[in-house]
Structure 1
Amino acid sequence: MNIDIDQLKRSHRQLMRLRQCFTSCYDISSSLSLEVVLDSLMLNVMDNLGAENCSLYLVDESRNELFLSLSKGPLGSAIPAGQRLKPGEKIPGRAWQERRTIHVTSEELEPGRDLISPLAGSCEVETTLCIPLMANDRVLGVAKITNKRLGGVFDDDDQEIFELACRQAAISIQNAYHHLNELELQSLESEFLRAEELRKMLLPDSDPALPGCRISASSISCKKFGGDYLGYLAPQNGESVLGIVVADAVGHDLSAGLLMVSLRAYIHSQSKFLDKPQTMIGNVNALFAQDTEGEGYFCTLFLLVLDQEHKRLRWVSAGNPPALLYDPAADSFQELKGGGPCLGCIAETEYQVFECPAPAPGSVCVVATDGIYEASRPDGGMFGAERVKEIIRSHAGQPAEAVRAALLDSLQDYCGTEERDDDITIAVVSFD
């Protein structure tokens, strides 16, 4: 029996290369750390292919450039850290742009066009192999090896092993990016939760007591961070006057919530003018407009002043839906309207105060942002003002807490489990 020693050696060499491929792929895919994945790719490639130099570039999609992430070897270590290449620039840029493996030997090199390292001109470059790192038809980066430690050029087997390692590395890089995105999302979610907790801390922790009426209010966010505001204001020199403020900033994200934090500070800084509601809201608007001028941010606001001392209601509106005042004896609704613009639109705005006599016993007043009126169900139908009025009418004579609960329960039944598009802030006053 004749044994082909050369064929046996080739088979053994291929088997060893195959084992190296499995080992390399395992090492490269064993971590979700981008730094570990890149380092593992570089070490395995330089070790298994006997490469003298290795450079790894990643794609910066925001600038449409490659940037040097890692580089080793006599030539590789001389490449400036963070070096950037445009599509088609040098060999890595060509591999990225053409989305293919580029294998260049010394006879094919054009130093001015191809070489990157400042030492390349004084050191002989015998062979260079450059492969795009692709996953799901997306180029994530480029890997390049230059020269073999024992001399010679990279052959077809070297290219096959290098391509296999690069394919596995691209998948691992993509997984590392996904992992980083997930960690960033979790961190952002945590920040949102902490911010929302802070916002809730700034809301009233209980409803105030005022002779002759009962008050119940709540503010419910539709997103992770609410953009509505609810607050109570009481003058320092008396207990028979109370201000109720509801406000709604444009948007439903972190920016809206931050606007509400600023608005709350401005409202409390001007609460000394509660006896002159139009002056108070005018001052608040001037302060708020300084923050939002030219940025397109604004908010609606309604201030209701319960003045038991002078037996009257007073209010100022800045673009908010009118409050609803129901008199069960006459079975009639009065809309507490106001014509002022939203806060933040015009810095120098004069607001008008309106008033009416104190409501009769049994009356109910509801102040709310537009979230309750515009809440919709999957078929697109809105909850609407008429439905709000019907619930108020059917629960008149009950405490404010019961009226508020009935409104929110009916809203939940109407909208179902669908996520709401707007925050809902509502304050109910029942008069004894």
Structure 2
Amino acid sequence: MRALSGERGAWWPALEGEGAHAVDTPEGPAWLEPAPGAGGVWLQLGPDDTPEATRPARARAAARIFADALASEREAATVAAELEMRYQEIDLLYTISDILGRTVRLEEAARRIVREVSDVVGARRASIMVYDEPTHTLRVVAGRGLETFDLEPVPVNDEHSIAARVFREQALLGHDGMGGDQHPGIGPERGYKGASFLSVPILYAPPGGTPRPVGVINLTDRLGEDTFTYSHKKLITAIANQVGAAIENARLVEGERQRERLSTELQLAHDLQAALMPPPAVLARTGDIGVRSQTAESVGGDLYDLITLRRDAIGVTIGDVSGHGLSAALLMAHANAAAGILAQSSRTPEEALERLLEAIAEELKRTDMYMSLFYGVVDRRRGVVRYANAGHPYAFIVPGDGSPPRRLGATAPPLGLGNERTVLGAEEPWRARSDVLCLFTDGMVESANGDGAPYGEERLLGVVRRHLGRPAPEIVAAVFGDLEAFAGPVAMDDRTLLLLRH
């Protein structure tokens, strides 16, 4: 028995259409069977001592087994490639944060950023342009694959310039150009040499203010397929915001430079953190889900996510990274991205958390941080919640019949505390479309009133139970309304509450 695909040897059978059929080989009669769903892969059974009458049935059975194995291998390869790409993106964000934190001169930072970005997305040509307010032009401060010293500044009102248009409209402009044509909105007077391009505005958003453009990142001539994906656009947009902070920092007066720079970094990290959290519109499509996350600073260490595993099962994560600020936000971003991918490729929640701990163990050790993390899978078909809980104390099932809430207790210590690498799993009964999964962080229950009394989980769960007949977003609003009436609207610690009825 052998598998046949695109290679050719000394003898090769005629593959007649897509159906199974007998074939005469130089060694004797054999049977060819297509592997179902394997895209042009066939199995050859024989020549051997097998009776010819039994070969079709044996070949069909073997082809099904082979196709299943091949599909599993291809799926594993796809997941591995996606995980590697996600890690590259997170690592790039770390690298650029480090560059902006260590480098004083904008031009030096821009040269390093252009090199790192073009390597990750595979662009042969890249540039960063910065707005010069006195002349109302965009000047190139760094480039790769092009000579920058003789490039003239581009007026921002130039109607034929891609970069000028992106700057004016404050919106990215891209074109895959797989057919070799130019973007219809760009005239022939000026454009890229390659058909595909991606230009992203660099925006700076002052705390509490309106974002304004300060430059443009340009990429073109990709290696391999000459096209930029949605992931590339999302990544470059996040990087552009970080670069915007660097550009603005270069313009700050010396007396306010450090304060403004820190504030900008925190705000950009908050934007990155918010971008990784599922937006309300996505949650509404997933089901009856309510969530609100309120940070104590510009950025915090709370994280949550929802992962659609199949039609009748949904995964939910919530966690809390020790500490606040940029370091906690970057660790949260890394953990959240990795957890989303590992949840898809793991058989159980406990396996997903063990693999996540392995992925971020060195980072936790280096930053001297730890994190509590709950990951549960609500399986409506089986009527259970399968979960693993790494030291997160605030996970409950609130039964729809009015009976007392059930705590989903810890099955492992927080990730990064101690040397334990084993995470256990557990199950609890679940009544579909009736029970409510209630997950929150310590900032909810530890918020205190003027007398120093904490809000407490008993009061929080009481509000949830009193409003069980309402949609999940309304219950979340009721809890936050009660909390703010008790402790005030200003959070001393991050506050996150997630409710799921599935």
State the TM-score, normalized to the length of structure 2: 0.47
* Residues 210 and 242 in structure 1, CA contact (< 8 A), matched pair in contact too: no
* Residues 210 and 240 in structure 1, CA contact (< 8 A), matched pair in contact too: no
Q: Deviations over 1:220-258 (max 9, x none)?
A: 2110112111111122xx222111111110012111111
SS in 2 for 1:332: coil
* Runs (5+) with no aligned partner, structure 2: 1-251
Amino acid at match of 1:395: H
Q: CA RMSD in A?
A: 2.2
2:428 paired with 1:352: no
* 1:273 to partner: Cα distance: 3.8
Amino acid at match of 2:494: D
| Residue number among 288, 292, 296 corresponding to 2:368 in the alignment | 296
Distance 2:278 2:432 in 1: 27
1:389 aligned partner: 461
SS in 1 for 2:417: coil
2:437 paired with 1:365: yes
2:485 paired with 1:429: no
2:351 aligned partner: 279
2:269 paired with 1:198: no
1:45 aligned partner: none
Distance 2:462 2:273 in 1: 32
* 1:215 to partner: Cα distance: 1.4
2:245 aligned partner: none
Cα 1:430/1:370, change in 2 over 3 Å: same
| Residue number among 258, 265, 269 corresponding to 1:184 in the alignment | 258
Q: Deviations over 1:157-185 (max 9, x none)?
A: xxxxxxxxxxxxxxxxxxxxx96232321
Amino acid at match of 1:393: R
Map residues 221-232 of structure 1 onto 2, 5 A cutoff: 221-232=295-306
* Residues 299 and 325 in structure 2, CA contact (< 8 A), matched pair in contact too: yes
Map residues 10-49 of structure 1 onto 2, 5 A cutoff: none
Distance 1:210 1:334 in 2: 27
Amino acid at match of 2:453: G
Q: Deviations over 1:23-42 (max 9, x none)?
A: xxxxxxxxxxxxxxxxxxxx
Amino acid at match of 2:416: G
* Residues 315 and 354 in structure 1, CA contact (< 8 A), matched pair in contact too: yes
1:110 aligned partner: none
* Residues 209 and 215 in structure 1, CA contact (< 8 A), matched pair in contact too: yes
Distance 2:313 2:434 in 1: 19
SS in 1 for 2:468: coil
* 1:382 to partner: Cα distance: 0.7
Cα 1:209/1:184, change in 2 over 3 Å: closer
* Residues 432 and 501 in structure 2, CA contact (< 8 A), matched pair in contact too: no
* Residues 397 and 437 in structure 2, CA contact (< 8 A), matched pair in contact too: yes
* 1:195 to partner: Cα distance: 1.8
Q: Deviations over 1:30-75 (max 9, x none)?
A: xxxxxxxxxxxxxxxxxxxxxxxxxxxxxxxxxxxxxxxxxxxxxx
* Residues 370 and 417 in structure 2, CA contact (< 8 A), matched pair in contact too: yes
Amino acid at match of 1:243: G
Amino acid at match of 1:421: M
Distance 1:268 1:327 in 2: 27
Give aligned pairs, total. 250
2:346 paired with 1:268: no
SS in 2 for 1:183: helix
1:332 aligned partner: 404
Distance 1:387 1:303 in 2: 24
* 1:300 to partner: Cα distance: 0.7
* 1:329 to partner: Cα distance: 2.5
Distance 1:218 1:241 in 2: 22
| Residue number among 443, 447, 452 corresponding to 1:380 in the alignment | 452
SS in 2 for 1:337: coil
| Residue number among 480, 491, 494 corresponding to 1:420 in the alignment | 491
Q: Deviations over 1:348-392 (max 9, x none)?
A: 511111112222653322111111111122321111011012101
* Residues 289 and 347 in structure 1, CA contact (< 8 A), matched pair in contact too: no
Distance 1:273 1:185 in 2: 43
Bigger RCO (CA 8 Å, 6+ sep):
1
Distance 1:251 1:414 in 2: 25
SS in 2 for 1:421: coil
